[in-house]
């Protein structure tokens, strides 16, 4: 059995055919998928999907760093309103909400990057970029506080922010989490492994791409009991279906690539990765 630990099936490229998507999952033994919220609206949609397909879909709630950075003009009262509303989503839906996030750092689109076309110059940031990063910090820390309060794991997104991510996690003891769509190298993974015994690494379709050597090296060497698989549907379709709309069924391609890299049969790791997923999300 396979668990897609990170998907966005409420997206408009998937939701119109969601019954077909779930049926195809079942046919391919992809038996569970967590729907990940990125803001209030998508968190509510993730919960609605989990309620519509109980025991197949689960949900996470909260604020993606790209959304968080754009709240820089809001005042503290407006922040408190959002915090209260998102906490209420957790309180009212504890039967399906299994994690908080995705949250973290994403410096790809901060001010000065020309919409992601050039890397951020972290040694010479504009005032707006500094404010955007501070907002990402604020919302990440608030989400970690709520994850601890409700005994939930955290889903971490990091992009173009390697050192800042590790520093922030260590400074705030953010130690029960998954590094979603892991796209860094083995050295970074080892630093995180040394930091906490409760950090997991989730591999997406990027693992199957021809130019993903550093990610593949990490996947070969990270302990199997710390590994999850995901699609990030509808994005990042695996190599064999690249260009198509990604969906949870395609998690199998990622699992197969992982088995190939580690020189084992898929059957040897399928159950283990599935059990990792249940353990991470606290699903019995």
Q: Domain residue spans in the chain?
A: 2-281
**Cβ burial, residue 27 (10 Å; 0-12/13-18/19+):** exposed
Q: Which uninterrupted H or E stretch holds 6?
A: strand 2-7
**Cβ burial, residue 141 (10 Å; 0-12/13-18/19+):** middle
Residues 6+ apart with CB under 8 A from 263: none
- Distance CA(3)–CA(255), nearest Å, equals 10
CB 36 within 8 A of CB 58: no
Q: What is the dihedral of CA 65, 67, 69, 72, to 10 degrees?
A: -150
Checking DSSP bridges between strand 30-36 and strand 227-229, what pairing results, if any?
unpaired
Low-confidence spans in the chain with pLDDT less than 70: 71-75
What is the reported pLDDT for 74? 60
What is the reported pLDDT for 73? 54
Sign of the dihedral through C-alpha 262, 265, 266, 267: negative
2-281 CATH: 3.20.20.140
What is the reported pLDDT for 100? 98
Q: pTM for this one?
A: 0.96
Q: Which two tokens stand for residue 115?
A: 């919409």
What is the reported pLDDT for 77? 78
What is the reported pLDDT for 248? 98
């Amino acid at each position: 059995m396979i668990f897609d630990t990170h998907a966005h099936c409420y997206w408009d490229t998937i939701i119109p055919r969601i019954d077909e998507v779930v049926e195809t999952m079942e046919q391919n033994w992809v038996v569970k998928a967590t729907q990940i919220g990125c803001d209030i609206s998508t968190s509510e949609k993730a919960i609605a999907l989990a309620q519509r397909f109980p025991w197949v879909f689960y949900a996470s709630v909260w604020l993606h760093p790209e959304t968080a950075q754009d709240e820089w003009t809001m005042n503290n009262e407006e922040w408190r309103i959002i915090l209260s509303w998102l906490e209420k989503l957790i309180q009212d839906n504890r039967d399906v909400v299994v994690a908080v996030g995705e949250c973290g750092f994403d410096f790809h689109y901060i001010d000065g990057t020309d919409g992601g076309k050039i890397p951020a110059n972290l040694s010479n940031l504009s005032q707006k970029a500094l404010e955007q990063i501070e907002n990402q910090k604020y919302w990440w820390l608030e989400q970690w506080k709520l994850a601890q309060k409700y005994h939930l794991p955290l889903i971490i997104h990091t992009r173009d922010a390697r050192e800042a991510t590790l520093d922030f996690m260590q400074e705030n003891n953010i130690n029960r989490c998954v590094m979603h769509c892991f796209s860094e190298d083995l050295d970074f993974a080892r630093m995180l492994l040394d930091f906490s015994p409760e950090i997991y690494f989730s591999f997406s379709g990027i693992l199957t791409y021809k130019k993903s050597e550093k990610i593949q090296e990490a996947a070969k060497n990270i302990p199997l009991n710390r590994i999850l698989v995901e699609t990030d549907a509808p994005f990042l379709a695996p190599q064999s279906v690249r260009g198509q709309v990604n969906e949870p069924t395609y998690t199998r391609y990622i699992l197969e690539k992982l088995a190939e890299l580690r020189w084992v049969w898929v059957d040897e790791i399928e159950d283990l990765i599935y059990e990792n997923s249940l353990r991470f999300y606290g699903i019995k």
